[in-house]
Structure 1
Amino acid sequence: MRRPRLTLRARLTLVYGGLFLLAGLVLLGLTYLLVEGQFPDEGQVVSDAVHTEQNPPPGAEEEWSHLQGVVDVTWDEALSAILTQGGLALFLVGAIAIAIGYLVAGRMLQPLQRITDTAGRIAEAPAADRGLHERIKLDGPRDELGELAETFNVMLERLDHSFDGQRRFIANASHELRTPLTLTRALLEVALHRPNASPEVRQLGETLLEINGRHERLIEGLLLLTRSDRELTERSYVDLADLAEHVAAQTPAEGREIAVEAAEAPVTGDPVLLERLVHNLVENAVRYNVDGGRVRVRTGARGGAAVLEVSNTGPAVPAYEVAALFEPFRRLG
């Protein structure tokens, strides 16, 4: 567990307040020493009086001694007042200075808090292409925080252009590749349906059609990936139970058993993306399985959330490879 730490505002307040109190204590100590240095020594008043008056009247020495005692008590009370009253004043002024410092620190750190809030909104945005368009707007002098905000905005702009360029490239390349693949599939189908086609030509055509279909699915996956990176603009009611039953019926079992336990699991989202999600999971469960293995698809609600669970009897994935499986087009073995 992480230990709780003081905020930057609190640390700055403590530093400024501590320096203020330290400077006040030093000033109070110097004042005490300077005032104490000006005090007359013990018996100094009587000695000065004796030297001043050569023939003192009777009883003068007793008056001078009494005066010396009054002076000594007065000096001691003055020194004590400097320490007590000065310390109390320093404490009160220090408390006021710390409170003012806390307010000033908060005021000075407002631009930094605005930068943090903007970065947090960008990090929590549901789609990167929407969050990266936001910029930090700071009003004030061009100081260190202003330069930080400007540098952050330049970084966001470069990232925004990079992501947009990458998405445009994938979309354009996918669209450009669709046309030749569609034409190739049409020519292969025409060649396969010719009456005079030899068995070798038919076998070659079927192999090429399978390869062509694999490339078409790859292109569709690229387009779907580009679409899924963006925030959903339209959401529809979808029951994952219906999708699970539909996908299980359409997926070739390839000698495996596909068992569906469909309970109502309502969600809102893009039906095409959700269907592809279920299809990818079920297809992988069938493909990466042992001969005669079993695939189980289960849907339902748990803790107020819709749950889709796909499991099979295939080999276990190593724990260190699990994180990599969530990368697009990632395969093992």
Structure 2
Amino acid sequence: MIHTIRFRLTVLYSGLLFVLAALVLGGIYFAVSKTTEQRPITTEYAKTYSGDQYLGKREVVFVEEVENAVNVRTMATLRDFSLLTLACLYVASLGIGWVLAGRVLRPVRSITRTTEEIQATDLKRRIRLRGPRDELKDLADTIDTMLDRLEEAFSAQRQLIDDASHELRSPLTIIRANVDAVLAAPDASEEERARAVAIVDRATTRMTRLVEDLLASARRQGTAFADADLDLARVVGEACDEYATPAAARDLTIERTLGAGLAMTGDADALRRAVSNLLSNAVRLSPPGGRIEVGAGRSDGMLWVSVRDDGPGLREADQSRVFDRFWRGEASRRDRHTGLGLAIVRQIVESHGGRVEVSSRLGQGATFTLWLPPSASGRSPA
């Protein structure tokens, strides 16, 4: 108990009150002693006679000596009562200080009790401290805000694990079924084995894509990237260069319209991946001989990047869900796509303080637009 804050506050309060009272009473005593005449009491005697007869000596009392005796007794009484008052005041201040310290620290006990009851599996508890808007109220509100962020992060993490487990379970089941039924069977024909190998290869490719997308999502949520000044047009151009060969293999044309002076602050690798994910979907979904339009510019004080394809497009009801994690359209379900690419795009753009938009009509392709804030200086890096 000696090391508790309540005990230390009690001792501090009592000590300060005791010192203050001692100074006040000492000052009063000193002032009174200086203004009161005091000297040792003396006794004088006088000879008394009755006529010519000597009667002896009698004690003589003078008015000055009476006053002096009264002063000495008064100062002694004042000293004794001052010491007794200080002792009583110190004992009383200990009790009062203990009670007051307990009342002051009551919110701290509430904060401690609530935080002890909070577990990683249940972050719904909140302190919600009532009372005046003081430092302890601000502390409790700050902890509640932190718990809100932690609950949101843990919920997103659990949802990601659940979704990833569900997505990985299907290809693993396919691989296990084909290994047990065909590849491990001694009487399986070569045609059956070849078909099983193709199925296992597609399932493995799907798992590889899923793991890569999960790693990219986890890296962006962490602190692995360092932002720097960059030219958005250069980043978009590099992403287009990476997909020039896959687009040519499907007889697709990538048309670029990139503006100048698109300076911003961000992570070039992450932004390049966001544009690459859009180009990957465009190359995968556009019909052979189609055209992919890529643009970048500035509008209304914001930088923008757009990727338009000639793919199957999106229904209006699906446009609000296209950026959700693990959501897949009909075309993506047919080719076993992971459904994480556009979710990662939104995550990267929002982490840069921007937003994503999609405009599409069923059967008429889709246009994805990334809006990003420019750098404060507005100058492109050298």
TM-score, normalisation: structure 1: 0.48
Greater strand fraction, Structure 1 or Structure 2: 2
TM-score, normalisation: structure 2: 0.42
Greater helix fraction, Structure 1 or Structure 2: 1
